[in-house]
């Protein structure tokens, strides 16, 4: 199978390099029988590849192994072995400094090897001499262990009989998000994965998908404004589709190695815009129907609560490492509070409210709940010292400027 074969829109060669890089690898030795211009172009012309690339081939000179690398274990696997970085990090945690560990798959076949740095030069030389990887002295003399099993520790060995669509589906299933709510897990992700598989083979970037999701959500909010029955129902349906697209952008980013700090910020900003627009639309819809004179004040309270909660949630996420080190009850409660109230599950509640004509009930509950949420979050941030920690950090930066 060609190293340029694409899985999830990324070639096997580039996927191997980027996966290793994400696991902490700084130098990649790539063995191929013939180093072609297409192979060089695949890794050297991509800004995501930041690790040093060393080509190894029978037609090239022996590669130089720097002294520092000879003290570090090396992970060895074929490009047809598709893994995610958590698996590589797991198997290298307790790597032996003296002996090779060969990790086998369910069938007992060698899948990935962790080789002591001192033996890497010999292994590469034997490959250059035409030996199969499985027949090299480093692999033949290694201890065998079964690969650890967990959904997040994705492993798949490609064969000529492998179906690309099935491999991509399995890869998507391994992309668990700890912040997913029940609706995400049992509904949104089941809709997003088939859509993501198609988006992976387009030129759309994760950020473009985020903007598309935002546009769909804003159109959904506009559908609420005329009031009546079918307008809000259509708006709730479009909101739900926007939520599914919001799942897709992260899935595409992780499969294609396109995560970025800007993408995270864009996602949060777009989610907030859609949420505020939907709340305003719901308030206007109830007001248009004359169901309550308090509809617009309730919507205003809801928007205010969302605007106040946004910077506090952002602050909690930025100081999460401080909370993890502190391990106080406030930090645990804060994490649970944010996880439970910042999921996409609320979209189903909005849909149910529109379907049953109970938008006013939602406005009352959400308007009160939003104020309680940001007040409790502010108190927890202060109790845990994370608010003070952030303020001190800002003051230090201002002094440096």
Q: What is the pLDDT of residues 255-266, one digit of tens each?
A: 999 999 899 889
Model confidence at 355, in pLDDT bands (50, 70, 90)?
Answer: very high
In a domain, 184, yes or no: yes
Could you tell me if 89 and 223 lie in one domain? no
Residue 230 falls within a domain, yes or no?
yes
Residues 282 and 145 grouped into a single domain? no
Q: Residue 69: its pLDDT value, please?
A: 63
Residues of the chain with pLDDT > 70: what percent? 96
Q: Decide if 196 contacts 252 (C-beta within 8 A).
A: yes
Inside any domain, residue 293: yes
Number of separate domains in the chain: 2
CA distances from 77 to 17, 34, 210, 303 (A): 11, 18, 34, 52
| Residue from 75, 73, 93 nearest 83 by CA | 75
The parent domain of residue 110 ranges over 6-169
Average pLDDT over residues 325-335: 86
* pLDDT value, residue 178: 66
Q: Which of 169, 203, 224 is the last residue of a domain?
A: 169
Tell me the C-alpha distance between 259 and 262, whole Å: 9
Residue 72, pLDDT > 90, answer no
Identify the CATH number of the domain in which residue 213 sits.
1.20.120.1760
Is residue 1 one of the residues assigned to a domain?
Answer: no
Same domain, 201 and 145: no
Do 156 and 221 reside in the same domain of the chain?
no
pLDDT at residue number 175: 85
Give yes or no: residues 299 and 395 share one domain: yes
Do 275 and 340 share a domain, yes or no? Answer: yes
Q: What is the pLDDT of residues 169-184, one digit of tens each?
A: 999 988 877 677 778 8
Q: What is the DSSP string of 315-364?
A: HHHHTHHHHHHH--HHHHHHHHHHHHHSSTTHHHHHHHHHHHT-HHHHHH
27 located within any domain: yes
Say yes or no: 195 and 274 in one domain.
Answer: yes
End position of a domain, from candidates 106, 135, 169: 169
CATH number of the structural domain spanning residue 116? 3.90.550.10
- Ranking 138-147, 200-209, 224-233, 300-309 by mean pLDDT, the lowest is 138-147
**Confidence band for 393, pLDDT divided at 50, 70 and 90:** confident
Q: What is the mean pLDDT of residues 153-181?
A: 85
Q: Looking at residue 342, what is its pLDDT? A: 63
End residue of a domain, out of 138, 169, 200: 169
Residues 146 and 12 in one domain: yes
Do both 88 and 190 map to the same domain?
no
Report, as an integer, the average pLDDT of 118-136.
84
């Amino acid at each position: 199978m060609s190293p340029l074969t694409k899985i999830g829109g990324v070639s096997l060669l580039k996927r191997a390099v980027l996966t290793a890089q994400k696991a902490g690898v700084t130098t990649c030795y790539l063995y191929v029988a013939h180093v072609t211009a297409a192979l060089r172009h695949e890794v050297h012309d991509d800004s995501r590849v930041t690790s040093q690339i060393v080509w190894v081939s029978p037609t090239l000179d022996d590669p130089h192994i720097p002294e520092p690398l000879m003290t570090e274990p090396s992970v060895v696997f074929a490009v047809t072995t598709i893994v995610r970085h958590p698996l590589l990090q797991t198997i290298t945690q307790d790597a032996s400094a003296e002996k090779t560990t060969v990790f086998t798959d369910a069938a007992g076949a060698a899948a990935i090897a962790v080789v002591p740095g001192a033996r890497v030069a010999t292994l590469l030389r034997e490959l250059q001499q035409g030996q199969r990887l499985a027949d090299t002295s480093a692999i033949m003399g290694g201890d065998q262990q079964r690969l650890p099993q967990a959904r997040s520790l994705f492993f798949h060995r490609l064969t000529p009989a492998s179906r690309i669509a099935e491999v991509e589906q399995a890869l998507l299933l391994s992309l668990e998000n700890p912040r997913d709510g029940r609706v995400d897990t049992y509904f949104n992700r089941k809709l997003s994965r088939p859509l993501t598989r198609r988006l992976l083979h387009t030129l759309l970037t994760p950020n473009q998908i985020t903007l598309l999701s935002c546009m769909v959500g804003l159109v959904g909010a506009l559908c609420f404004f005329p009031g009546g029955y079918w307008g809000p129902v259509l708006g709730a349906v479009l909101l739900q589709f926007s939520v599914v697209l919001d799942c897709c952008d992260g899935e595409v980013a992780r499969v294609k190695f396109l995560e970025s700090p800007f993408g995270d910020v864009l996602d949060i900003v777009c989610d907030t815009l859609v949420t505020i627009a939907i709340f305003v639309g719901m308030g206007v819809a109830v007001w248009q129907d004359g169901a309550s004179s308090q509809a617009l004040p309730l919507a205003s309270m809801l928007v205010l609560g969302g605007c106040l909660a946004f910077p506090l949630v952002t602050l909690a996420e930025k100081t999460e490492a401080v909370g993890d080190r502190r391990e106080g009850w406030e930090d645990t409660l804060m994490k649970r509070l944010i996880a439970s109230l910042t999921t996409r599950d609320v979209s189903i509640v909005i849909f149910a409210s529109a379907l049953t004509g109970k938008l006013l009930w939602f406005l009352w509950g959400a308007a009160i709940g939003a104020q309680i949420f940001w007040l409790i979050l502010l108190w927890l941030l202060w109790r845990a010292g994370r608010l003070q920690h952030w303020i001190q950090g800002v003051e230090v930066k201002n002094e440096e400027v």
